[in-house]
Amino acid sequence: MVLRRPERVAKLIREEISQILIREMRDPRVGTLEITQVKVTPDLREARVFFRMVGGESERAAVESALAGARGFFQGQLGRRLGLRVTPDITFKYDESLDEVSRIEALLEESKTG
């Protein structure tokens, strides 16, 4: 299977941001989190970075705020590491897809038992 360029760039961004979080991110609000996926627009100008973490709403809000504040840092690092002509504008979003799957599974179990 041949990956299109946006998919290849998304994969590279995911790997690099994960490495930056592990090795260089010093903000205490950002604990352990996982980059679940990156979606890049066809023109490579925007990238939505989806993440998951352990914690409640207040922790999630703090992490989203920390990541949004460090956006310029991430973009600068990606620009140097990836060597793209234009570094995508990054937006961090909490990945709610697993929450939705869990909710649907709970509803299905409930319908089986009752």
pLDDT tens, 15-27?
999 999 988 888 7
Q: What pLDDT was estimated at residue 26?
A: 80
For the chain, the structural domain boundaries read 5-113
Fold topology of 5-113: GMP Synthetase; Chain A, domain 3 (3.30.300)
pLDDT value at residue 74: 94
Question: Exposed, middle or buried: residue 87 (CB in 10 Å: 0-12, 13-18, 19+)?
Answer: buried
Nearest to 81 by CA among 7, 15, 5, 3: 15
Split at pLDDT 50, 70, 90, the class of 31 is confident
96 or 80, which is more confident? 80
57-61, 81-85, 100-104, range with the lowest pLDDT: 100-104
Res. 102: pLDDT tops 60: yes
User: Residue 58: its pLDDT value, please?
Assistant: 80
Are 53 and 31 contacting, i.e. CB atoms less than 8 angstroms apart? yes
